[in-house]
Structure 1
Amino acid sequence: MHGNLVITIGRECGSGGRFIGQKLAERLGVRCYDKELLALSAKNSGLCEEIFEHHDEKPTNSFLYSLVMDTYSMSYNPSNFVDMPLNQKVFLAQFDTIKRLAEQESCVIVGRCADYALAEYPNMVSVFTTAAYDDKVEYLKEHYHIEPSKIKDFITKTDKKRASYYNYYANKKWGSAKSYDLCINRSAVGFDGAVDVILNFVDVKKANKK
């Protein structure tokens, strides 16, 4: 593969996809974009960052909220997206930012339908991470300090939101092996093992394209 390498990571809640992405970026000597993508998209589009935070990985929002925020957002860039629903503006702004990043640098991008945005990009490797439920619980307790009694509901709601967002925009099934180049059970290989598997896959893909 020639040009910038972009690895996208979809993840089940608690599987540690973000943590794996950060460790992967460190090994590669590149940046990892997760929430950072929101600020970058806001800067590139002229919309305020709070809008991106509210719509982050959400397919739809209430009509009233969109109506109010549409009016508010117009002051930032009145020539763009005028007749478009706000959630569509946010998605397209992130879509554009992801494509710009791929042209500018090698990087790791977590979530945000990045694999869909870069579907035609030859140097993209799409990864999806999962894990056993007990391991998800331990990860969320340690890294996000969520109370044990609330973890099951948190996982269910987060995964539902991510699935709805991905299925809505990417027109593919979130979490399905058919939607990604590589699916990894973090419980089976550990965090460092997951990074090794991804890097080995990248090397094989590079060799196969020569």
Structure 2
Amino acid sequence: MDMNTIITIGRQYGSGGREIGTKLAEAYGIKCYDRDLLQLAAKESGLCEDIFNNYDEKPTNSFLYSLVMDTYLVGGYSSASFLDMPINHKVFLAQFETIKKIADQGPCVIVGRCADYALAEYKNCVSIFIHADINCRIERISKLLNLSEDKAKEVIHKTDKRRSSYYNYYSNKKWGEAKGYKLSIDSSVVGIDGTIQLIQDYINIMEKQL
């Protein structure tokens, strides 16, 4: 199925966002980037991959957005300002640049990592947020990770809080707020396959207008 759209997926933990992204990419015959984006960013920046794993979608109170953007605009990885940056700043910047490089190569699906914010100026980018009823998410995570319902609920809340803090701190938008995305879908209502179909229908309509 031919298409020319970049799909970014923000997701509540347990909503099936990763599965949806993977199946969408398979349907279109394109690449889905999730944690493998960290490997690419590590390779491009020359930083250790373990560092990216440790800082993956984790907020930090010491982040200075203007400093990062100044570095991004001025010199890239070889600039003195980049070399002098705290490590968490370097990780965010490296991911930011890697997301743009991936998008420049053609259609793809990117899960998380503020990808929608990084690609905000790309007209062929569809930003999606997947959410779901908390009870459905608890049931999904309980089965997936073999956890009790109470433990699954705890993991869900902690993960959502981490993702929300990361996104809200590093972007100029609010995580999960519908107006910040092209589509916001409740996967517990329409299911995984129904969510995929809704996204494909939207893309079909959008591409006819480009």
* TM-score normalised by the chain length of structure 2: 0.87
**Counterpart in the other structure of 1:161:** 162
**RMSD value, Cα:** 1.8
**Counterpart in the other structure of 1:108:** 109
Change (3 A) 1:115 1:83: same
The offset of 1:78, in angstroms, is 7.0
Distance in 1, matches of 2:148 and 2:49, equals 29
Distance in 1, matches of 2:146 and 2:182, equals 32
Per-residue CA distance 1:114-135 (angstroms, 9 max, x = gap): 0000000111000000111121
Per-residue CA distance 1:83-127 (angstroms, 9 max, x = gap): 222111101100111000011131100000000000001110000
Distance in 2, matches of 1:10 and 1:145, equals 24
Change (3 A) 1:14 1:96: same
**Counterpart in the other structure of 2:18:** 18
* In the alignment, structure 1 residue 179 sits paired with structure 2 residue 180: yes
**Counterpart in the other structure of 2:68:** none
For residues 11-160 of structure 1, what are the structure 2 equivalents within 5 Å? 11-60=11-60, 81-160=82-161
Distance in 2, matches of 1:146 and 1:87, equals 31
Residue identity matched to 1:118: L
Residue identity matched to 2:174: K
- Stretches of structure 2 that go unaligned for 5 or more consecutive residues are 64-76
Runs (4+) of structure 1 moved beyond 4 Å? 77-80
Q: Secondary structure at the match of 1:125?
A: strand
Q: Secondary structure at the match of 1:14?
A: coil
Change (3 A) 1:141 1:26: same
Q: Secondary structure at the match of 1:146?
A: coil
Q: Secondary structure at the match of 1:184?
A: strand
Distance in 2, matches of 1:125 and 1:144, equals 30
Distance in 2, matches of 1:93 and 1:4, equals 25
Distance in 1, matches of 2:61 and 2:179, equals 28
Asked if the contact 2:25/2:108 (under 8 Å) is kept, the reply is yes
Asked if the contact 2:139/2:149 (under 8 Å) is kept, the reply is no
Change (3 A) 1:41 1:146: farther
* TM-score normalised by the chain length of structure 1: 0.87
The offset of 1:28, in angstroms, is 0.7
Residue identity matched to 1:20: I
Asked if the contact 2:5/2:203 (under 8 Å) is kept, the reply is no
